[in-house]
Chains A and B, each alone.
Chain A
Amino acid sequence: MYKIAYSEIYNLFDRIKDVITLFLPAKNDGAVSFSKYESGTRYEADALNTVRSAKDFFFPQTQNIAEFKISGKSIEILQNTEETGKFAVFGVRACDEKSFGILDRVFLSEPSDPYYNEKREKAVIITAACNYPEETCFCTAFGIDPSEPRGDVSTWVSEDFLYWKANTEKGEELTNKIADIFERCNDGEIISIKNNIKTAAEKLPFVSLNLDYWRNTGEKEIFASEKWESVYKGCLGCGTCTFVCPTCQCYDVRDFDSGKSVRKFRCWDSCMYSDFTKMAHGNPRKSQKERFRQRFMHKLKYFPENNGGIFSCVGCGRCLKSCPQSLNIIKVARSVAADD
């Protein structure tokens, strides 16, 4: 393990930037988002969650697939050859890092998605432990330890130091290139930081979320629960929850006709939208109740069913903050499971 005086943190960013393109949480128009680091960029160390999650790096909001030129009855295909360069992301929280593993199960399962895979391979993930978890955080309910974030490199911050530990080959490679900036230290130095985080996390209001009902009840039974009749009420179908969610990955494939050519691209979509499943002959999810049910059934039942019991939620709390109607996964998970 290495450490560097916290006062030197911008020297660290500058050194990383010289080796690899660096992104970190910074303020843009008042909101914190992962931004490209240039000298002078201010790192928002205290912001826990960026407004949008880190999934953007691997599953961007739009992804070009191909371009078609049409003349008369014939069609020419120009395959998209955009490439992503190597990059590092600093300040990824334990919850977002965990979400990559969930997205991997979708995009890297057979047949794997080459666009996602390329970006995943090019990235070096540098995580940051959460010294002060927020009231909306409930990652520990999903077995995530905010004091022990993973990724290619893990970092912890004390009053005086930033601690740095490489976990993977990619992490080692980056560390070796900038090793002279650090001093070596003992793992024992961060024990009290970790303990403080654990203690803080235990006191959060939603970490006691009990998911036994979702684990132990069949999908058909939960689907048919009368609770859905009331729990969805208020949902505007705006889709904000799906866009800020680090594990939501549904997408649309669309064409953009520029007049000269047609570009085929994929973009984020939301199961909360009325036309998501609409077909020429009808729509199997006719009302917001069905669409709302789909989103939570997917995260808490269908995904675990297909992935060895792993829930498709990491407890980042973004949906708690962003829903204009204060509907969120905690409310739904509890209400549907309630005995009354």
Chain B
Amino acid sequence: MTENLVPSVGVITDIRIDTPDVKTFRVVGRDGKKCFSHMPGQCAMLSIPGIGEAMFSITSSPTNNDFMEFSIKKCGCLTDWLHSAEAGQEILIRGPYGNFFPVESELKNKDLLFIAGGIGLAPLRSVINYCRDKRSDYGKIDIVYGSRSKDDLVDYGEIINEWMADGGIDVYLTIDREQEGWNGHVGFVPNYVKELGFNTDKTVLLCGPPIMIKFSLQGLIDMGFDKTQVYTTMELRMKCGVGKCGRCNIGSKYVCKDGPVFRCDELEALPDEY
């Protein structure tokens, strides 16, 4: 296999406004088909010539055979540009890159606890919908998801209308501060997970801002979970996607190729530089 770093052309066919700073972009190839297949947790390099190129997790599930989706927060040059784009815009895409959540091995037949904060739901949504589509392969599913406010919950519609309507899935939402029109839980995700007090036989998939990951992991350990039960996904600056450009390493591991998915005991063995 070779990697020549040359992308192919994709077309944005739909843009959904999820929150004040998150939009979800639907992308297909010029032939109208999915650009490539992937596994949950894998990423793709998206770029606009002259603006920039960056790695994004693929939000849609591999079980979606028609298109790919990327939930993207507006926070830099490229993402600013994408947020001002309209449907029909062509973009450049290459991938998939990285490893994936072990949905066909370690996670099979397990009870799964998803913990996400803010835009951290983007990579986990791919796994959640994969598991929903292959429901009999997995045990009970619990999802704890929190954001700054109700308006910052990414794709609230799907959470309410689809996830919460499924049997065998419990969804727990929380927001950081009281808000008019919100009757649900208020408080930070790590504390909410502790309050909910889950059985420690679950396998945990955790993603969010670094500070949330840190406190949630500590909370899980206090509750009796082992680090080998917790998977998370990392993000660092990347240029190549194949472990050669040299910038996304945490110690001897490259996030683009050895990650982005790490088990927390593996992550703990690496220098604390992320």
Binding site for B on A (CB under 8 A): 65-66, 68, 70, 73-77, 79-80, 106-107, 109-115, 117, 219-220, 223-224, 249-253, 255, 257, 262, 264, 266, 269, 271, 276-281, 284-285, 290, 294, 297-298, 301-303, 305-306
Question: Does B236 sit within 8 A of A, measured CB to CB?
Answer: yes
Which of A77, A251, A294 contacts B239, CB < 8 Å?
A251
Question: Does B76 sit within 8 A of A, measured CB to CB?
Answer: yes
What 7 additional pairs, Cβ within 8 angstroms, besides A276-B237, A277-B237?
A73-B88, A75-B9, A114-B2, A219-B271, A255-B53, A280-B75, A285-B273
Which of B6, B86, B90 contacts A65, CB < 8 Å?
B6
Tell me if A223 and B271 are in contact (CB < 8 A). Answer: yes
Given A68-B92, A223-B251, A280:B76 Cβ within 8 A: yes
CA separation between A73 and B89, bound complex, in Å?
5
Q: Who on chain A is nearest to B78 by CB? A: A280
Convert B241-274 into 0s and 1s, putting 1 for each residue whose CB lies closer than 8 angstroms to a CB of A. 0111111110110000000000000000111111
Question: Does B7 sit within 8 A of A, measured CB to CB?
Answer: yes
Which of A77, A113, A301 contacts B244, CB < 8 Å?
A113
Give 13 pairs: A residue, B residue, CB < 8 Å, sorted on A.
A68-B49, A73-B89, A75-B91, A79-B6, A220-B271, A223-B251, A249-B244, A253-B5, A255-B50, A276-B247, A297-B271, A302-B249, A302-B252
CA separation between A146 and B6, bound complex, in Å?
40
Given A68-B49, A224-B271, A284-B274, A106:B244 Cβ within 8 A: yes
CA separation between A205 and B52, bound complex, in Å?
47
Kindly list chain B residues whose C-beta atoms are within 8 Å of the C-beta of A298: 246, 249
CA separation between A125 and B128, bound complex, in Å?
54
Kindly list chain B residues whose C-beta atoms are within 8 Å of the C-beta of A224: 271
Tell me if B247 and A75 are in contact (CB < 8 A). Answer: no
Given A223-B273, A250-B245, A110:B1 Cβ within 8 A: yes
Kindly list chain A residues whose C-beta atoms are within 8 Å of the C-beta of B270: 219-220
Given A114-B2, A224-B271, A284-B274, A70:B242 Cβ within 8 A: no
Tell me if A302 and B251 are in contact (CB < 8 A). Answer: yes
Question: Does B240 sit within 8 A of A, measured CB to CB?
Answer: yes
B12 to chain A minimum Cβ distance, whole angstroms, is 9
CA separation between A223 and B242, bound complex, in Å?
24
Which of A114, A264, A279, A294 contacts B237, CB < 8 Å?
A279
- Give me the 5 closest cross-chain CB pairs, A-B, nearest first: A280-B76, A250-B246, A223-B271, A262-B49, A68-B49
CB under 8 Å from chain A, chain B span 202-253: 235-237, 239-240, 242-249, 251-252
Question: Does B179 sit within 8 A of A, measured CB to CB?
Answer: no
Kindly list chain B residues whose C-beta atoms are within 8 Å of the C-beta of A276: 237, 247
With most chain A CB atoms within 10 A of its CB, the pick from B50, B77, B236 is B50
Q: Who on chain A is nearest to B209 by CB? A: A281
Question: Does B79 sit within 8 A of A, measured CB to CB?
Answer: yes
Kindly list chain A residues whose C-beta atoms are within 8 Å of the C-beta of B3: 111-114
CA separation between A139 and B141, bound complex, in Å?
57
Convert B1-30 into 0s and 1s, putting 1 for each residue whose CB lies closer than 8 angstroms to a CB of A. 111111111000000000000000000000
Kindly list chain B residues whose C-beta atoms are within 8 Å of the C-beta of A250: 245-247
A274 to chain B minimum Cβ distance, whole angstroms, is 12
Given A77-B9, A290-B273, A302-B249, A277:B244 Cβ within 8 A: no
Tell me if B2 and A271 are in contact (CB < 8 A). Answer: no
With most chain A CB atoms within 10 A of its CB, the pick from B53, B77, B240 is B240
With most chain A CB atoms within 10 A of its CB, the pick from B3, B6, B53 is B6
Given A249-B246, A266-B5, A277-B237, A75:B273 Cβ within 8 A: no
CA separation between A298 and B246, bound complex, in Å?
9
Tell me if B90 and A75 are in contact (CB < 8 A). Answer: yes
CA separation between A285 and B274, bound complex, in Å?
8
